Amino acid sequence: MRGIGANDPCWCGSGRKYKKCHRDADAQGGGPRNAAAVRPGTVGPRRAVPAHIPRPGYADGGKVRPAPRLADPAERLARMRRACRAAAEVLAEGAARIQAGVTTDEIDRVVHEGYIARGGYPSTLGYHGFPKSLCTSVNEVILHGIPDSRPLAAGDIVNLDVTIYLDGFHGDCSATYPVGEIDPASARLLRVTKEAMLLGIEAVKPGRPISDIGRAIEAHATAHGYGVVKAFCGHGIGEDFHLDPQVLHYFDPRARTPIEEGMFFTVEPMLTAGSPEHLTWPDGWTAVTADGKRAAQFEHTLHVGRDGAEILTLGPDGRP
């Protein structure tokens, strides 16, 4: 522990006092040791987006404000299908670059170029001030990790969360990947988190309350002894990045909003090997598990059809 004092800043970079941050987790021996924890790296300069690419209203330092809604439902669906397919393609390109020794900033470069090659804008770039073109969340980072100079290491897990703004619509998807060989407990966390997302998607039925989704996800997580992060949820999406409804990943009987045909929303559960409580780094974005144990997330954007969900962000191979 390098003799860190109770009132010293925590080794994890959160900016909190050690006693208010990782001390208890360290004492339990369950959290990451100093050497293993993810630390903030250096965030590179903002990447440029060519002027011919249409940008959302917030792209140039503007506020996030609701965009006008396209009236024609068939046109909205066609454009959402295009944006979401592009997002899934870009995610696959980013994933193909994952390898020990590669920095998350290098993945940011690949993904940034992927959006632009398709005529799209990186939805996260400038969104409430977010500085990069995707989120990269490693090990105990739950979500909203900022790509930086940290090289991936064999045994890491990394979530890539890719969102493109194309033809006036946002398409949003993410997956968590192994870096090289990972331990069996991490492999199981990835498998169960993806299963939980798919079970949540299967629960999407017009007329049913939206709480059905969280109920299905939470049941699967609990059966495997995992936590479900409650502080972040899925969301409506379309002309704007984040819209109603909120999609909780746990069961809350108050979430009575009926699922309706024609809705677009994401399902993006985060499961944790230990406690689902989180802390936020001083960068204001990076959310890590408070106990330092690993977390995983998977995300799709859906369209609600007559019989249930159409996954709009299927991979280029047609699989979720």
Among 135, 158, 160, 288, binds ligand MF3 (CB under 6 A): 135
The Cα 136–Cα 12 span in angstroms is 17
Q: Residues 7 to 46: which contact ligand MF3 by CB under 6 A?
A: none
Query: To 10 degrees, the CA torsion angle through 68, 54, 164, 245?
Result: -10
Closest Cα to residue 175, out of 96, 254, 105, 235?
96
Sheet holding 227-228, edge to edge: 227-228, 270-272, 295-297
Cβ–Cβ under 8 Å, residues 171 and 301? yes
Backbone dihedral angles phi then psi of residue 106, each to the nearest 5 degrees: -70, -35
For 101, counting Cβ atoms within 10 Å of its Cβ (0-12 exposed, 13-18 middle, 19+ buried), the class is exposed
The region of 47-55, 121-129, 198-206, 303-311 touching ligand MF3 under the rule CB under 6 A is 121-129
Q: Min. distance of Cβ 171 from ligand MF3 in angstroms?
A: 10
The region of 1-9, 123-131, 152-160, 249-257 touching ligand MF3 under the rule CB under 6 A is 123-131
Sheet holding 287-289, edge to edge: 141-143, 287-289, 278-280
Q: Min. distance of Cβ 292 from ligand MF3 in angstroms?
A: 22
Q: Does 163 bind ligand MF3 (CB under 6 A)?
A: yes
The region of 18-26, 120-128, 181-189, 272-280 touching ligand MF3 under the rule CB under 6 A is 120-128
Q: Residues 253 to 292: which contact ligand MF3 by CB under 6 A?
A: 268, 285
Q: Does 148 bind ligand MF3 (CB under 6 A)?
A: no
The region of 41-49, 74-82, 94-102, 127-135 touching ligand MF3 under the rule CB under 6 A is 127-135
Cβ–Cβ under 8 Å, residues 25 and 31? yes
**DSSP H or E run through 241:** none
Q: Does 108 bind ligand MF3 (CB under 6 A)?
A: no
Q: Min. distance of Cβ 307 from ligand MF3 in angstroms?
A: 25
N-to-C CA span, the chain: 42
Q: Min. distance of Cβ 242 from ligand MF3 in angstroms?
A: 6
Pick between residue 161 and residue 240 the one whose CB is nearest to ligand MF3. 161
CA angle 299, 301, 305 (to 5 degrees): 135
Closest Cα to residue 38, out of 154, 136, 141, 134?
141
The Cα 176–Cα 194 span in angstroms is 9
Q: Which does 286 bind (CB under 5 to 8 A by kind): ligand MF3, Co ion, none?
A: none
The Cα 230–Cα 235 span in angstroms is 13
The site string for Co ion over 254-293 (x = CB under 5 A, - otherwise) reads: ------------x---------------------------
Q: Residues 169 to 228: which contact ligand MF3 by CB under 6 A?
A: 172
Write out the DSSP string of 267-288: E--EEESS---EEE-TTS--EE
Among 115, 121, 130, 281, binds ligand MF3 (CB under 6 A): 130
Q: Min. distance of Cβ 142 from ligand MF3 in angstroms?
A: 12
Among 196, 299, 300, 303, binds ligand MF3 (CB under 6 A): 299
Among 148, 161, 239, 310, binds Co ion (CB under 5 A): 161
Q: Interface with Co ion by CB under 5 A: which residues?
A: 161, 172, 174, 266, 299
Q: Interface with ligand MF3 by CB under 6 A: which residues?
A: 124, 127-128, 130, 135, 144, 161, 163, 172, 268, 285, 299
